[in-house]
Chains A and B, each alone.
Chain A
Amino acid sequence: MEMRILGRLTAADALPLYSWVAIGGAVVTILGFLAIIGTITWLGKWRYVWTEWLTSLDHKRIGILYVMLALVMLLRGFVDAIMMRAQQAFALNSGGYLPPEHFDQIFSSHGTIMVFFMAMPFLTGLINIIVPQQIGARDVAFPFMNSVSLWLTAAGAGLVLISLVVGRFSTAGWTGYPPYSGAGYNPGVGVDYWIWAIQVSGIGSTLSGINFIVTILKRRAPGMKLMRMPLFCWTTLASSILMVFAFPALTVTTALLALDRIFDMHFFTNTDGGNLMNYINLFWIWGHPEVYILILPAFGIYSGVVSTFAAKRLFGYKSLVYATMAIALLSFTVWLHHFFTMGASAGVNAFFGVATMVIAVPTGVKVFDWLMTLFRGRITFHPSMLWTLGFIVTFTIGGMTGVLLALPPADYLMHNSTFLVAHFHNMLIPGALFGYLAGYMYWFPKAFGFTLDERWGKRAFWCWISGFYLAFMPLYMLGFMGMARRMERYDVAAWQPPLVIAALGAAVILAGIACLVIQLIASIRTRERRRDLTGDPWDGRTLEWLTASPPAPYNFAVLPQVRDIDALHEMKRRGAVYERPERYEDILLPRNTGAGVLIGGFAFVFGFSAVWHIWWAAAAALLALLAAAAARSFCDRTEFRLSASEIQQIEERRLRQLAGEEAL
């Protein structure tokens, strides 16, 4: 066999010349990339970006980078979505504007991006910014590992993005089921892009999970007992436990698929003793907990928002904690509901059907707790509160369609139909994305020191929620009318009107996204008027509102003493906030390092080379990655000392600011 330096990478295979739309996508991706590079160069900010952001080990900065990645990927994922909606609106008895091969790449990349590169970084970013502050800590337990996680996630996202320019993305859906994703039916690079993007970012997620668990268990301020932690910390803990235990299953499953594809093994082939159903089994052992990894942090955000903007202590704190942990455990016992139609015996299907319905119970408990918190509260209709109210109503509908799908006989009818597509969007958009957006608007002043414009926030909410109903309620109907998911064209005239309505809904969501962009730009422009000088713009109840906005690198000059669930609220009642300590002490902080960026970069080169079978480069990148990690472990100067006098200066300035604010 002929050896080729660049593996199977050739210009003919690599360039997206198969459709005009694909060429357009490649051009937009390249232009977007150049625009970012160009802007930074034009502003002469490379040094600033590198030293203050890319190499930072400060959990707040890493968190902000995560959220920025998530917002960019949300745009990309949404472009995919609206392209599919447009295609299906036209494709009655015609090919529409997308060739089938391209349409299949789009639903695969949409699902992959939304789950792995929008939702995961969004929640990881919010957790990073907020959880250490809520438990009264100065950083996460492993600041360097945090940076590695970030850059591994970014490397995975980079692989998905570059697949639009060099080669193609998978056509096997976000689930990559064999045998279609096997080498026999899918010899190109698409599935490999999917596999390596997930491998690389999945390891980042596992590391994040470990980091958050240790942070929460080991870094709490004095008096912050577990049962005094804000609910967001509890849901983060639960979600991190799920990450640590579930993600290895995904890593192993996709690794076995890679072995099948590269070395002609037969774990999941139809022949030679392989069993493709085992792929589906293993995939969903990760897949179902993943749903809760995405949703639980949002539950925590809603809990904080409800309590702050109803100005009340959270109703049923303990029941919320127990419900969270119950959901976390139960989420490992239901995975077969994703493949009832495999045809297991009645006993197996009944067991998993019942287990699925049981999860609805703790979730229902939570809904009642939130409602009872709102009941007789003094409600402020901040946009975050609107996202929360929209969530409670909409998520309940999605939950009910879920209980319907949990009945195996009903699932046999609905499986793989657009009813399912409607159901999981009905869970993920209100259940996860609305929560992240609520958190984004709630905590933005904490991260940047000024608030977001509320009018544009409310407009965004109303567009998103009405767009959501328009876009997805017709899909429930279409499911009953027999429409399968992932259809590039169809010949049933009755399906077209609902599909047109769904496309209109996507257009309304587009308006919602436009509102989000305008909100951000308008708020940056008017930031001087919207400065948050107190660090506590919403009369907050938990510790993250005790720090300055944006917080000092060490968050707390003196670690707070916690006496209550609503720690800050209790301090305010005692009149014990913003007290001048007798003396300050030196604080050790993590020193910046480029090692995380380097490791992420090598992981990207490794993934790209593995996709194209450029084995020498893959081996070199892997070695370089290990060498970088090893070299870093020999570095002794990982921390620097911020002296007490510097801290005193920072804190005195803040106290003067607070005093001035009170005088006004």
Chain B
Amino acid sequence: MNNAPTAGRYSLKRYLGGYVLALLLTAIPFGLAATAALPRHSVLIAVGAAALAQVLVHLRCFLHLGLRTTAPERLLAIAFAAVLILIMIGGSLWIMFNLHYRMWV
């Protein structure tokens, strides 16, 4: 029906590259949390950043998302999901840090 390319058309290189990146992005936060090499605050930020990068790696290397290669309505759906996730997570962080500030600082 639609002409979505099948997985066979993608190079093994991209899958393997994605795999290595995903492993790295998993190892880094675990390592940081286990060794406490950085101050607590920086660890939290690093874990968050690694998670975000992980999402992008998955979308790009495994789901083959590309700004030009993917149909616009799919991009729209992903953008919509991103907005909602941003609202939920961003809103939660805003609310909970605001509460933390008022209770403990």
Establish whether residues B99 and A342, one from each chain, have CB atoms under 8 Å apart when the complex forms: yes
- Taken residue by residue from 260 to 283, chain A's Cβ proximity to chain B (1 for < 8 Å, 0 otherwise) reads as 000000000000000101100110
CB closest residue in chain B, given A335 = B91
Establish whether residues B95 and A245, one from each chain, have CB atoms under 8 Å apart when the complex forms: no
> Does A610 lie at the interface of the complex (its beta carbon under 8 Å from any beta carbon of B)?
no
> Does A348 lie at the interface of the complex (its beta carbon under 8 Å from any beta carbon of B)?
yes
For chain B, residues 56 to 102, give those with C-beta under 8 angstroms from any C-beta of chain A: 81, 84, 87-88, 91-92, 94-96, 98-99, 101-102
Establish whether residues B95 and A348, one from each chain, have CB atoms under 8 Å apart when the complex forms: yes
A282 to B89, CA, bound (A): 10
In the bound complex, residues from chain B placing their C-beta under 8 Å from that of A343 are 99, 102
In the bound complex, residues from chain B placing their C-beta under 8 Å from that of A345 are 98, 101-102
Establish whether residues B88 and A348, one from each chain, have CB atoms under 8 Å apart when the complex forms: no
Secondary structure class of chain A's binding surface, majority of residues: helix
Neighbour of B95 across the interface among A249, A281, A332, A333, CB < 8 A: A281
Establish whether residues B99 and A277, one from each chain, have CB atoms under 8 Å apart when the complex forms: yes
**With contacts defined as CB atoms under 8 Å apart, how many contacts are there between chain A and chain B in the complex?**
37
Establish whether residues B99 and A333, one from each chain, have CB atoms under 8 Å apart when the complex forms: no
A19 to B94, CA, bound (A): 46
Establish whether residues B92 and A282, one from each chain, have CB atoms under 8 Å apart when the complex forms: yes
The listed residue with most A CB atoms (<10 A of its CB), out of B84, B87, B88, B101, is B88
Secondary structure class of chain B's binding surface, majority of residues: helix
Given contacts A332-B84, A332-B87, contact A348 B98 (CB under 8 A): yes
- Taken residue by residue from 347 to 358, chain A's Cβ proximity to chain B (1 for < 8 Å, 0 otherwise) reads as 110000000000
B interface size (C-beta, 8 A)? 13
CB closest residue in chain B, given A278 = B96
A332 to B87, CA, bound (A): 7
A281 to B81, CA, bound (A): 20
Establish whether residues A336 and B88, one from each chain, have CB atoms under 8 Å apart when the complex forms: no
In the bound complex, residues from chain A placing their C-beta under 8 Å from that of B95 are 281, 336, 344, 348
In the bound complex, residues from chain B placing their C-beta under 8 Å from that of A285 are 88, 91-92
Shortest Cβ gap from A530 to chain B (Å): 43
A363 to B61, CA, bound (A): 42
Establish whether residues B102 and A245, one from each chain, have CB atoms under 8 Å apart when the complex forms: no
In the bound complex, residues from chain B placing their C-beta under 8 Å from that of A275 are 96
In the bound complex, residues from chain A placing their C-beta under 8 Å from that of B96 are 275, 277-278, 281
CB closest residue in chain B, given A351 = B94
A348 to B98, CA, bound (A): 8
Neighbour of B87 across the interface among A281, A333, A344, CB < 8 A: A333
A59 to B1, CA, bound (A): 24
- Taken residue by residue from 325 to 368, chain A's Cβ proximity to chain B (1 for < 8 Å, 0 otherwise) reads as 00000001101100000111101100000000000000000000
Establish whether residues B88 and A332, one from each chain, have CB atoms under 8 Å apart when the complex forms: yes
Neighbour of B81 across the interface among A245, A347, A348, CB < 8 A: A245
In the bound complex, residues from chain B placing their C-beta under 8 Å from that of A281 are 92, 95-96
Task: Report B's interface with A, CB cutoff 8 A.
Answer: 81, 84, 87-88, 91-92, 94-96, 98-99, 101-102
**Extra inter-chain contacts (6) besides given A333-B91, A344-B98, A345-B98, CB under 8 Å:** A281-B96, A282-B92, A285-B88, A333-B87, A343-B99, A343-B102
Cβ contacts A to B, 22 pairs, < 8 Å:
A277-B96, A277-B99, A281-B92, A281-B95, A281-B96, A285-B88, A285-B92, A332-B84, A332-B88, A333-B91, A336-B91, A336-B95, A343-B99, A343-B102, A344-B95, A344-B98, A344-B102, A345-B98, A345-B101, A348-B94, A348-B95, A348-B98
8 closest Cβ contacts across the A-B interface? A245-B84, A332-B87, A348-B98, A344-B98, A285-B88, A345-B98, A281-B92, A281-B95
